[in-house]
Structure 1
């Protein structure tokens, strides 16, 4: 997205981005700098990566969100109008104890710090997966779908994101701090430059010449969301909360954004394996699908179960799991009509452009790493 001229930038007040050195958080920081005027601060466990140049006038603070005494002085110093809370362990990089501590207890501390320091707007990064049991197809699912209860939720990460969202929504106009307005953003399958989860394994499949395998029949539509669009959704949510805070009366139920959750996607679901092939094409692939061996979902689940058992015996992680098979074969896309209507959301980067930008970034990173090793 091209930078907005200074005279056209929209005011956003004092903003604190928690997790602002991470994948999503750093993109939120970049988008605020390019399109908004703001006193911008970042709070992260370690603020050593994805830092902006000193000329951008972003203030960085190291702090542990699971410790109120660590972050409260930062809130008191920054005095944020808006807090955007993106901090979370990655799905593949954490464990149950970490998910509970950071996602739930950390969010509890962020809420308390916001309540104690007069924050007007708290925007929380939830997950679209909190309404998925990882077995049932989601077809044009919207915010009316219930959150999966713990006994049916097969991913503990999603359970903790749901628990944290409930805390955030309960904090909206809470008697403890009635002026604090909250909102939850539920992005679906984020990808982009710096992505550590979704794109690297897909790109690796191309570079290791393993594009000839497909799990499932590729008749399952899936939402993938470019990271800058997710950042855009968060900032629109913050603006909507600030506008609501200026109202003398509470909005009607069908107009309100505070205390609400919103799905954010690219609004362009594609068949699961078509997305992978779009990535491979951007990497340079000229192959069609003639060479592809289609492994049915049922056979894949059986094979994945056997591999899980065999690898468990030797204490290793299998290259194929039943979770991967279910994920690759699942229909999972969302209706973002609520975000369009109430937040004014629309994707600012299309799916194809997002893929091309991302692959170009990864190729440049690979090139830089190669040059470092050769020195």
Structure 2
């Protein structure tokens, strides 16, 4: 544990990202030595004794250099989670699959005894309803993932768990591994999803919701996810009988909520009206499918940001939430309650939000216009499908 005379050394891959940064600060506060490994330098200020190692997870020599002398690795680097990134197949496979193989090999070669992999809900979820699911659920068959990110994260999750109990080279002991499968992350300063949502709100694109009002999904506040990672590292130690070794854990706030209701405080907090229009999820899924087809055709020349991908449609509109019982029992994970107030403040302090509402009538007309355009676009493609 942290009480040892020698400081524990933690390596965080993808350490320059939002979550990596928050995890680094937490470990540093607890008195650990922290090394960040990433292809780009951190954008946030870091304590001066946090070491940054620049390198590419796809290059084994870079990985080897980073893990040397490390006690525990948090492997959170990944690529292809959202938007147009989702459509770059080669890079997604190289980072998520080959990168993870490089980490596993380096851990074994250099005597690293603990590895925690940051996975995702998506390894078991592919658009089917899951209510209070647990870790006994099987992986979604690989060919059923409509996106490369989920498929490659599944492959990495499998590889990490399979590598558990591998004998370490040149020293006694085994590699102890576990995977954490979080919901969507939020928190003040989150850079991946929240700014895109705020952008859609501000551009007036967020004019409708979809799916059933009763559909429930989950989120995880960044600090709950940080605590789960710190606890997982402890649960892989001999002091805790390596109790997490070879195990997977779903991690969320433990509060299933309707996706759109979850974001209501953000929309209204920034001074925008919450959409009253609800469209069928099938229409939105079809629209996302068309967008992906169009991107497939013109993406090589014009890499636009898709409004929504199919994966994003069902991740937001189809019920899937998980029990935290295993994480609570085996990791002593206790999610704290958070809301979006800090997030709203974060955006407001950066000049987002508006003071006045457009009149109800002009808003109604815009909505009608928007929906008829959406329907027209969708219908114009139907003969092609039937032919």
User: What TM-score comes out, normalization by structure 2 length?
Assistant: 0.79
Structural mapping, 1:132-151, within 5 Å = 132-133=125-126, 135-151=127-143
Q: 2:64 maps to what in 1? A: 72
Q: 1:370 maps to what in 2? A: none
Structural mapping, 1:173-184, within 5 Å = 173-176=165-168, 178-184=173-179
Q: Which whole-Å CA distance do the structure 2 matches of 1:165 and 1:206 have between them?
A: 34
Q: Which whole-Å CA distance do the structure 2 matches of 1:192 and 1:276 have between them?
A: 12
Shift of 1:155: 1.7
* Secondary structure of 1:183's aligned partner: strand
Q: Which whole-Å CA distance do the structure 1 matches of 2:197 and 2:154 have between them?
A: 28
Bigger mean CA deviation after superposition, 305-314 or 183-192: 305-314
Bigger mean CA deviation after superposition, 273-282 or 297-306: 297-306
Q: Which whole-Å CA distance do the structure 2 matches of 1:279 and 1:16 have between them?
A: 34
CA displacement, residues 73-106 of structure 1 (integer Å, 9 cap, x when unaligned): 3322xx1111111111141325111111111111
Give the aligned CA root-mean-square deviation in angstroms.
Answer: 2.6
Q: 2:73 maps to what in 1? A: 83
Structural mapping, 1:1-375, within 5 Å = 13-34=8-29, 36-54=30-48, 57-76=49-68, 79-92=69-82, 93=85, 95-133=88-126, 135-176=127-168, 178-242=173-237, 245-246=238-239, 256-285=243-272, 287=273, 292-304=276-288, 319=307, 322-348=310-336, 350-352=337-339, 355-366=340-351
CA displacement, residues 45-71 of structure 1 (integer Å, 9 cap, x when unaligned): 1224224042xx111111222222122
Structure 1: runs of 5 or more not aligned: 1-8, 368-375
CA displacement, residues 306-358 of structure 1 (integer Å, 9 cap, x when unaligned): 6666787776665455555434320011111100000000113x231xx2222
Shift of 1:225: 1.0
1:317 and 1:241, CA in 2 relative to 1: closer, same or farther beyond 3 A?
closer
Q: Which whole-Å CA distance do the structure 2 matches of 1:156 and 1:311 have between them?
A: 15
Shift of 1:214: 1.4
Q: Which whole-Å CA distance do the structure 1 matches of 2:33 and 2:295 have between them?
A: 51
8 A contact 2:111–2:168 mirrored in 1: no
Structure 2: runs of 5 or more not aligned: 353-387
Q: Which whole-Å CA distance do the structure 2 matches of 1:59 and 1:303 have between them?
A: 45
CA displacement, residues 208-260 of structure 1 (integer Å, 9 cap, x when unaligned): 34554111232101101111111111111001112xx247xx67xxxx31011
**Total equivalences in the alignment:** 339
Q: Which whole-Å CA distance do the structure 2 matches of 1:108 and 1:203 have between them?
A: 36
Q: Which whole-Å CA distance do the structure 2 matches of 1:15 and 1:176 have between them?
A: 18
